[in-house]
Structure 1
Amino acid sequence: MEIAVAFAMVVSAAPPAVAERREPVRITRFLGEQRIPYMERFEGTAVGGLSGIDRDPRTGTWYFVSDDRRRYNPARFYTGRLGIDRESGAFTGVRLTGVTTLTRRDGTPYPGYGQLEAADPESIRFDRWTGRLLWGDEGDRPEARNPNIPISQSAVREMGADGRQTGELPLPSNLRLTDTENGPRRNFGFEGVAVTEQAITAVTEGPRFEDGPVPTVESGGPARLTVWNRQGRPRAQFAYPLDKLPVAPNPPTQEADSGVSEILAIDEFRYLALERAWIPGTNYRVKLYEIDLRGATNVLGRDSLAGGGAYRPVSKRLVYDLGTFRPPVQNMESLAWGPRLATGECTLVIGSDDNFSEEESTRFMAFGAAGCR
């Protein structure tokens, strides 16, 4: 039996107690914080909007993708180094070493905001099993307040080190963006991407129209995790249960923005997930969860999660409430494993997207972690 097929069958059918259980992830210590100054210039570009990070364990190169949509420069990713001492764990610095424009198959840059085929990069992953780079595009679509935005489909794309697109995973029909109240809402396309030996997984930021309303103080809502096998075929889809809002917006006429901002693989079944909420009058709230796909219902064939038969979402366990750590909390959107320390701890790096706003910041926080892999 094909490995990826067997994987999908185990995830969708095996109860949680059947598969091997491992030590849960826990944060052991804080290693340090580093920042990139507001609107720092690098090789003719404005550094900011860093919405995804990852590391090549073979070379120690870090990748940082910017969600700038030609406000300043074309969609791009940076390479760099994070100074993490393997002996002490001290996080001592961040240094950029290169910048690369994301381009389409024909070698041309992606159009800017509000144009057809515009790109909205939200996640980047180095695939250590193939040596390729993957990135998640949230896409865009019209809505009542922005009726003239053309549809640009959300996607998980493959590219070379030169930034040129070389492939794209097939999009399940229930995740296609539309110009009606069907499919994902605007700004709720693919926000996080994760890679394992057997699969590629992406998560939508929030609920589709058919899956119910966005989170409120009364209730949460389901995002969708989609799993592709290594041959690029969608094998399963699972519901991720978003928290309800911790407090109501102030004033109440303002809208909160809540959802999953990134996922990171621990093993074939477990992931870390960042849940981030922007609540007017409160600022950001961010929590780090460990989720497990085992025992969850495969909802790939279900058009709606708001009605019909019952389903079991992925399980989730709180790892760390970042709202209690070094306030004010920033717009945390990046999550990546760093080098393993001499103590045996993994390093976990969490990064923020400054939205190119002087009131926010681009910062990276490093933590020691156990139970990682």
Structure 2
Amino acid sequence: MAHSRKITGIALSFALVVVAAPPSAAAQRQEPVRITRFLGEQRIAHLATYEGTTVGGLSGLDRDPGTGTWYLISDDRWRYNPARFYTGRLDINRETGEFTGVRLTGVTTLTRADGTPYPAYGKAGSADPESIRLDPWSGRLLWGDEGDRPDPRNPNIPVSQSAVHTADLEGRSTGELPVPANLRLTDAERGPRRNFGFEGLAVTERTVTAVTEGPRFEDGPVPTAERGSPARLTVWNRRGQVRGQYAYPLDRLPTPPKPATGDADSGVSEILPIDEHRYLALERSWIQGVGYRVKLYEIDVRGATNVLGRDSLTGDPYWPVSKRLVHNLGDFRPPVQNLESMSWGPRLASGECTLVIGSDDNFDGSEATLFMAFAATGCRRG
């Protein structure tokens, strides 16, 4: 694969090829993240119920390191219940690393500034929750909302803007971060495509970072088996000011659809901070006739061009973020599921970190709500 390792060379326009900038000396000295062992898998039953809600669509996951509470957000758009998040416990033995169970402990409806739930799918102002983070420095929650917009298959969908919302632990809105103009959803072929708004979210002591799942119209076509495409990674400081925006080079599809005219969907489904410059990124594809394919990358924004002021990524050359393959997640418990959530778990007695990756079942009986736990080295959190 073209992006299975960090490469160097001359940066060209993405209409041709974009290669990663050479890492700095500081980056070379840092220990990369490596998965050392698989700790196990736990599942939640399909269409399980909890306190009057239907459990599924779990597309974001995070852990409060102070209390050990896990937060899980559902992308259910009132097909069953209003936008909501769950709290829970994941049982990981710190001595052995054994992952033995997952259980829910609470459910909270996300509400707007006026205290009402977000409208349902297809209505103005609806929300599409895709990621959740507990900010231990402020005690608040942040959650990524992919938004919605019309497209040729869904011409009557109203525009609902993609956003990074802030909320208290009771799910009540406390505001949202300002979104750069180039990421505003529209009803024309401008800005992010449908289902390509904010999909991944990361919080550190100094920054908040969100990534679009895939390319804007102006940044080129979606990935194919012949070529990749750029998504955009936006970084805010802790005061909510946009600090920069960087291109994330999506891989080309690992294989063509079957039939060749079939559908495919590929993009970044989650990011997770390692430190103030590096992140883990889940890059996930769904390919008709093939299924899901997911790779875990380590990315670094240092040396990348700030493309905040660029309306298009198909013209002038730029440096994207660098990528290093950590693991092809198809090696664990095939068939590959729709992996969309990722969080650091507790540190083990061995000194290893734990990394938990979860799947969104799309409320589809042929898919699963599962959590896979791994031991890892090279992390700076947990």
Q: Same fold (TM over 0.5)?
A: yes
Partner of 2:338 in structure 1? 331
Instruction: Calculate the aligned-residue CA RMSD, in Å.
Output: 1.2
Partner of 1:194 in structure 2? 202
CA distance in 2, matches of 1:69, 1:182: 24
Partner of 1:9 in structure 2? none
1:322 aligns to 2:329 (yes or no): yes
Secondary structure of 2:25 counterpart: coil
Partner of 1:288 in structure 2? 296
Runs of 4+ more than 2 Å apart: 13-21
Q: 1:194 Cα shift?
A: 0.1
Partner of 1:184 in structure 2? 192
Structure 2 unmatched ranges of 5 or more: 1-20
Partner of 2:83 in structure 1? 75
**1:269 corresponds to which of 253, 267, 277:** 277
1:313 aligns to 2:337 (yes or no): no
AA of the residue aligned to 1:288: L
Partner of 1:356 in structure 2? 363
CA distance in 2, matches of 1:165, 1:351: 26
Secondary structure of 1:123 counterpart: strand
CA distance in 1, matches of 2:133, 2:185: 23
Partner of 1:216 in structure 2? 224
AA of the residue aligned to 2:211: V
Q: CA-to-partner distance for each residue in 1:101-152, whole Å, 9 max, x for gaps?
A: 0100111000000000000000000011111100000000011111110000
CA distance in 1, matches of 2:290, 2:71: 31
Secondary structure of 1:223 counterpart: strand
Partner of 1:8 in structure 2? none
AA of the residue aligned to 1:74: P
1:40 aligns to 2:68 (yes or no): no
Secondary structure of 2:96 counterpart: coil
1:371 aligns to 2:360 (yes or no): no
Partner of 1:343 in structure 2? 350
Q: 1:167 Cα shift?
A: 1.2
8 Å Cα contact 1:14/1:294 also seen in 2: no
Report sequence identity in percent. 76
Secondary structure of 2:218 counterpart: helix
Q: 1:16 Cα shift?
A: 2.2
Q: 1:253 Cα shift?
A: 2.1
AA of the residue aligned to 1:145: R
1:150 aligns to 2:158 (yes or no): yes
CA distance in 2, matches of 1:147, 1:19: 46
Q: CA 1:233–1:32 in structure 2 vs 1: closer, same or farther (change >3 Å)?
A: same
Q: 1:17 Cα shift?
A: 2.7
| Aligned residue pairs, count | 360
Secondary structure of 1:99 counterpart: strand
Q: 1:15 Cα shift?
A: 6.6
CA distance in 2, matches of 1:155, 1:351: 22
Q: TM-score, with normalisation over the residues of structure 1?
A: 0.95
Q: 1:77 Cα shift?
A: 0.1
Partner of 2:4 in structure 1? none
Q: CA 1:133–1:14 in structure 2 vs 1: closer, same or farther (change >3 Å)?
A: farther
1:125 aligns to 2:104 (yes or no): no
Partner of 2:18 in structure 1? none
CA distance in 2, matches of 1:161, 1:276: 30
Q: CA-to-partner distance for each residue in 1:279-307, whole Å, 9 max, x for gaps?
A: 00110000000000110000000000012
